[in-house]
Amino acid sequence: MIENLNGIGQRVRASFDQQALMTLIGAQLVSVSRGAVDIEISFRNDLTQHNGVLHAGVITSVLDSACGYAALSMMPEGSDVVSVEFKVNLMRPADGDAFMAEGRVLKAGRTLTVARGDAYAISTHGRTLVATMLATMMRLNPG
């Protein structure tokens, strides 16, 4: 199974590395397993919204990628993934030194996959849930 997990990790990493936005905002792929992908991002002043915390759009970007790659990790080789839709609840200000977005597959289907993503702020105070996403991802067949 390690073989297989490695294969999944390589496919996800190859696609993640093509997401130029992840480089721009400094997001890092930290963990990939079947149906579960974690992405981390550090606080930076140029990623903030008017009140000084991380922009909701940045939190959404990493949650979207985490959910999308969690979905991709359960699709057959050669598949590609796109986001159909997502909903995000911003529960607390995204106030922390770093943030972890954890994408988890709830239901993997042939065409559609439903995933949940939780974003945690990490600081010296600990780990706080700041946002949660519920997303629908679609498998695209290879060209």
Per-residue contact string for residues 22-41; x = within reach of its own copies by CB under 8 A: -xxx----------------
Region of 1-9, 17-25, 32-40, 119-127 interacting with its own copies (CB under 8 A): 17-25
Q: Does 71 bind its own copies (CB under 8 A)?
A: no
Q: Are 101 and 65 in contact (CB under 8 A)?
A: yes
Q: Does 43 bind its own copies (CB under 8 A)?
A: no
Which residue from 29, 65, 71, 121 is in contact with its own copies, where contact means CB under 8 A? 65
Q: Does 10 bind its own copies (CB under 8 A)?
A: no
The H or E element spanning position 36 is: strand 36-42
Residue 11's closest CA among 84, 78, 107, 64? Answer: 78
Helix (H, G, I), strand (E, B) or coil at 26: coil
Q: 1 or 142, CB closer to its own copies?
A: 142
**How far apart, in Å, are the Cα atoms of 3 and each of 69, 100, 140?**
18, 26, 24
Question: For residue 134, what are the contacts with CB-CB under 8 A and spacing of at least 6?
Answer: 86, 87, 114, 115, 116
Q: How far is the CB of 94 from its own copies (least distance, A)?
A: 11
Interface with its own copies (CB under 8 A), residue total 49
Which residue from 5, 78, 87, 127 is in contact with its own copies, where contact means CB under 8 A? 87
Which residue from 31, 79, 104, 114 is in contact with its own copies, where contact means CB under 8 A? 114
Residue 139's closest CA among 101, 100, 116, 107? Answer: 107
